[in-house]
Amino acid sequence: MFFGNSGAEANEGAFKVARRTGRPTILALEGGFHGRTLGALALTHKPAYREPFEPLPGGVVHLPFGDLGALEAALVGDAGQHVAALVVEAVQGEGGVRPLPPGYLAAARRLTTAAGALLVVDEVQTGVGRTGAWFAHTRHGVVPDVVTLAKGLGGGVPIGAVVTLGERASTLLGAGQHGSTFGGNPVSAAAALATLHVIERDDLLRQATEVGAHLVRGVEGLGHPLVQGVRGEGLLLGIQATRPVAAQVVVAALEAGVVMNAVAPEVVRLAPPLVLTHQQADEFLAVLPHALDVATAPTDGRDD
């Protein structure tokens, strides 16, 4: 385990672990987001994030999201012998809150093992209880070679971590090959320990699961014509709209005291604290119809 300051720094560490295999290609998925430092940005797919800083570190190939055929083509036979690692999120956050299709991560584990490549799971957004499990990948029954963490690990205090599992990944990066000025500092480490303690003591994995399911039922139960559906896990949810008005919904909700964000023109992301109660969820559900109505209300065309 290596401690750093952020998710981007954790993914830089994972990038360097992959480079140490000596193989030239790293696979990532379309729609993925892994950070804004240069190595992490090379793994990130969104052109708006990448293009201002190109050329980025090379050797990264982005595969279509959830496409098993493309994954097999990249990892089977001669192609697979050049692959250092596959980097994925179990649930893409910036990509529109998209869980990997059933069976994809298990297939990824099988194919990377057969090719001698590493499986790296980015749990920066999904880890430490966000999805109602300690780690989102555990629901898929796989053990990755590398897991990256940050965000929820410190409960608001900056900390990131690269966790290697198994002998091979753990021996690739040697002493002096990666570093961080404030990595593993006592304040952040104490905050992370306290966060883990509170999640376990207060059964927040169960709470995230139950309150998340309550939110899904509540949003879908509104019957609002703008809501096409809700996807995600635990307290990482995306409201899929029928029109590209996510930005307007976010502004209207903020004016009513609710913080959300638009991760796609038609998708609003919810990522409330794990301590969110049913009552607080109901307060949100009472505000949401108004925000949806305001976002779709006709304007008179005047520039006031």
DSSP 32-74: ----SSHHHHHH---HHHHGGGPSPPS-EEEEPTT-HHHHHHH
> How long a stretch of residues is the chain?
304
Q: What is the mean pLDDT of the chain?
A: 95
Residue 236 has pLDDT above 70, yes or no: yes
Q: What is the pLDDT of residue 167?
A: 83
pLDDT in tens, 38-62: 999 999 999 999 999 999 999 999 9
pLDDT in tens, 141-158: 999 999 999 999 999 999
- Residue 24 dihedral angles phi and psi, to the nearest 5°: -85, -20
Cβ partners under 8 Å of residue 26, min gap 6 = 15, 18, 43, 59, 60, 61, 83, 84, 85, 86, 87
Say which amino acid occupies 128: V
Task: Look at residues 296, 229, 297, 241 and name the one whose alpha carbon lies nearest to residue 268.
Answer: 241
Say which DSSP state 80 is in: G
Residue 304 has pLDDT above 50, yes or no: no
Q: What is the pLDDT of residue 175?
A: 85
pLDDT in tens, 168-193: 888 898 888 889 999 999 999 999 99
Q: What's the pLDDT band for 299 if we cut at 50, 70, 90?
A: low
Please provide the distance, in angstroms rounded to a whole number, between the alpha carbons at the two ends of the chain: 56
Q: What is the pLDDT of residue 302?
A: 47
pLDDT in tens, 106-150: 999 999 999 999 999 999 999 999 999 999 999 999 999 999 999
In angstroms, the CA 134 to CA 126 distance is: 9
Choice between 295 and 86, residue whose per-residue pLDDT is larger: 86
pLDDT in tens, 194-214: 999 999 999 999 999 999 999
| Helix 68-75 vs helix 104-115: crossing angle, to nearest 10 | 10
Q: What's the pLDDT band for 300 if we cut at 50, 70, 90?
A: low
Q: For residue 265, say if its preceding peptide bond is cis, omega within 30 degrees of 0.
A: no
Q: What is the pLDDT of residue 176?
A: 87
Distances 70 to 27, 30, 232, 245, 291 between C-alpha atoms, Å: 11, 12, 24, 32, 40
DSSP lists the bridge partners of residue 121 as: 88, 147
Residues noted as catalytic: 33, 122, 151
302, two tokens = 């005047």
Q: How confident is the model over 251-258, as a mean pLDDT?
A: 94
Biggest alpha carbon distance in the chain? 65
Q: Which residue has the tokens 């590493």?
A: 118
Q: What is the pLDDT of residue 295?
A: 85
In angstroms, the CA 274 to CA 129 distance is: 7
In angstroms, the CA 11 to CA 7 distance is: 6
Task: State percent of the chain over pLDDT 70.
Answer: 98
Q: SS3 for 173?
A: coil
Q: What's the pLDDT band for 303 if we cut at 50, 70, 90?
A: very low
**The pTM is what?**
0.94
Cβ partners under 8 Å of residue 139, min gap 6 = 90, 131, 133, 233
